[in-house]
Amino acid sequence: MFRESRKKLIWIIPVVSLLLCFLPGCKDIGNKEGFITIYIADDCEIGNEVIAEIYQDLKPLQKSKVPLRNVAIHIEDSKVGITSHGMDMYCAVEDIQSGKYLEPLVIKSIELKHDEIWKKYAIYGYLYKETESSEGLKEYLSDADNRDILSMFIGYFIPEYNTMEEIGVNVSIAKLYGKYIIDECGLDELLSCDASDYINEWLGSMGLTFSYEDEYKDILKQFNYTEDKGYNLVAQTDLEVSFYMAPPKEDGSNVYLSRQVLAETYVALNEILNYIKEYAPEYYQKSKANLIGVNVFFDRPVYSVTGGGYYPAEKEVRVSRYIDVVHELCHAILPNSNAHQWRNEGFAEYASKIVSKLSIYRDKVEKDYHTIEENAIFINEEYTEYRDEIIECIETGDYDIERYKRISAKVLIKMREDGAPVESVYDNYVAQYTDVPKEENVDLSYDEAMFFVEYLIKKYNLSKFLEYCCNENTFEEAFGVNFESAIQRWREEFAGDKW
């Protein structure tokens, strides 16, 4: 890190002038738009020719008239490798002389929106005449699984989220695609276009016959991307929920997935809010307001046997599995009561699994299928018929939520009939199935709570259910029937295939 006391010289390179200024000790240089400021540490033996070299290097950028912003280069001889913090870049004299500093400096200097980083690479490649071969790329893109890269999603360009190899491929694409746009339509068009505008034309120009459709394009336009609090990628929605995207973990979740997580979570939240708007309009504004200021973290510790948690005091959702994001956000929508875990979890499961029917939650349902299968095997051989049906679903990849509901409800009810104690499930979601592993117990009690909440909403209506959640009324005051009787009726109707 650069230390001010060791600062010897400050050089400022004005974009529009040939003059090199020498302003010792001057840090604030007023309106510096388009300037590069150079700080040189005491340990540096540096001659004017190094400064002149930087100036020469930056000429193509200055001439191009692309929007620029102030960047400071700190040159320190003790520095190993180029690093940067905000608008400051740190490197050694050697990095200047070898030219290594130039690409990161130019990328940092170009003033564009945070999510348009691909355009910066394109501009750099074009101005500095970097020749990229399209051969390896064509082979890479021949695999349909690799094509999401063509969305130019910002996360694909952040080194912390990708391997060096991935970054290399992403940057090559940006440079080749950008060069095509500039050659065909000019630099101004590159600056104003959307990533998808010319993608298929460009693929065609390389002799590739497939086309690319970015299914999340319109949804992800609703996000504003920044960096904040040590996170290279923070995505904020118009719902004022912020997603702090962490570097990928060993469990396989990665930034490629994060794009889908962002898009589908946004759609799911809107579906849930619209559902409330339609069936309980008096709770819509309040529900929406409850989401304002919620921050979602993918890398904060979660103290739970499940994959996530909502921490109301901090307004934080913490998840270790992406499939839990919407569930946890549902906890933020409704006031939570410690005395009624079944209600909290039941609504969160109902809203995230049943109201929002998104493909990403297919993974969650798939996991649930496996859970119920394991439980059915554990509990009793009597459940063979259900187990066979579940195994068939797993083998054929048919993870329909309605089918899942029907099967798991029957298994649950049979288990209850067999004497698994029921009372505490509704007070505390840690279930009481004593001879199955703990995590499976919890999953099942979540399901059970979900089915019961669904029953209440269908039998009474959403307004009544939300009224019960948001007020101090007892169950009986809210629904006109006592809790135990409601449970009994629900189980009878469920078991009897009445709905």
Shortest CB 312 distance to Zn ion, Å: 12
Minimum distance from residue 332 beta carbon to Zn ion (Å): 11
Q: Does 450 bind Zn ion (CB under 5 A)?
A: no
As measured in angstroms, the least distance from the Cβ of 96 to Zn ion is: 53
Nearer CB in complex with Zn ion: 345/443: 345
Q: Are 364 and 353 in contact (CB under 8 A)?
A: yes
- Which one, 199 or 348, has the nearer CB to Zn ion? 348
Region from 289-297, 340-348, 397-405, 433-441 binding Zn ion, contact rule CB under 5 A: 340-348
Q: Which is nearer to Zn ion, 225 or 310 (CB)?
A: 310
Q: Given the rule CB under 5 A, which of 84-92, 168-176, 293-301, 347-355 is the region that contacts Zn ion?
A: 347-355
**Piece of the chain touching Zn ion by CB under 5 A; list 10-18, 148-156, 279-287, 338-346:** 338-346
Nearer to Zn ion, 161 or 446 (CB): 446
Got the DSSP string for 113-148? Answer: -GGGHHHHHHHHHHHTT----SHHHHHHHTSGGGGG
Q: Give the shortest CB-276-to-Zn ion separation in angstroms.
A: 18
Q: Which one, 348 or 469, has the nearer CB to Zn ion? A: 348
Query: Is residue 181 at the binding interface for Zn ion, with CB under 5 A as the rule?
Result: no
Q: Could you say whether residue 348 binds Zn ion (CB under 5 A)? A: yes
Q: Measured from the CB of residue 120, what is the shortest distance to Zn ion in angstroms? A: 41
Q: Which residues contact 485 (CB under 8 A, 6 or more apart)?
A: none
CB neighbour list of residue 100: distance below 8 Å, 6 or more residues apart: 82, 91
Q: Which is nearer to Zn ion, 73 or 330 (CB)?
A: 330
> With respect to Zn ion, which residue has the nearer C-beta, 76 or 345?
345
How crowded is residue 337: how many other Cβ atoms within 10 Å of its Cβ? 12
Q: How far is the CB of 234 from Zn ion (least distance, A)?
A: 24
Give the pair of three-digit tokens for residue 491.
Answer: 């189980």
End-to-end C-alpha distance for the chain, whole angstroms: 66
Whichever of 269 and 348 has its CB closer to Zn ion, that residue is 348
**Considering the complex, what minimum distance in angstroms separates the CB of residue 331 from Zn ion?**
6
CB-based burial of residue 78 (10 Å sphere; 0-12 exposed, 13-18 middle, 19+ buried)? exposed
CA 100 to chain centre: 31
Picking from 301, 5, 65, the residue whose alpha carbon sits closest to that of residue 186 is 65
Q: Does 96 bind Zn ion (CB under 5 A)?
A: no
**C-alpha to C-alpha distances, 158 to 98, 166, 353, nearest whole angstrom:** 23, 10, 32
The region of 16-24, 129-137, 346-354, 368-376 touching Zn ion under the rule CB under 5 A is 346-354
What are the C-alpha distances in Å from 459 to residues 219, 234, 284? 34, 41, 21
Q: By CB under 5 A, which span of 130-138, 343-351, 370-378, 463-471 interacts with Zn ion?
A: 343-351
Local structure of residue 250 (DSSP, 8 states): T
Tell me how far CA of residue 215 lies from CA of 196, 202, 241, 398, in angstroms: 11, 19, 22, 23
User: Could you say whether residue 319 binds Zn ion (CB under 5 A)?
Assistant: no
Smallest distance, Zn ion to C-beta of residue 351, A? 11
**CB of residue 295 to Zn ion, shortest distance in Å:** 17
Q: Per CB under 5 A, which region of 11-19, 76-84, 345-353, 437-445 contacts Zn ion? A: 345-353
Please tell me the count of residues contacting Zn ion according to CB under 5 A. Answer: 2
Give the integer Cα–Cα distance in Å for 176 and 170. 10
Alpha helices in 224-361 (DSSP H): 255-279, 284-291, 325-333, 341-349
Q: Give the nearer residue to Zn ion in terms of CB position, either 151 or 295.
A: 295
| Part of the chain binding Zn ion (CB under 5 A), chosen from 117-125, 180-188, 337-345, 483-491 | 337-345
Considering Cα of 267, then 269, then 272, then 276, what sign does the dihedral take? negative
Q: Measured from the CB atom, is 248 or 346 closer to Zn ion?
A: 346
Residues 6+ apart with CB under 8 A from 114: 154, 225, 226, 227
Contact code string over 204-223 relative to Zn ion, x by CB under 5 A: --------------------
* Amino acid, single-letter form, for residue 244: Y
Cβ contact 372:379 at 8 Å: no
The smaller minimum CB distance to Zn ion, of residues 345 and 368, is found at 345
Question: Least distance to Zn ion from the beta carbon of 327, Å?
Answer: 6
Query: Which tokens sit at 367?
Result: 């996991």
Binding site for Zn ion (CB under 5 A): 345, 348
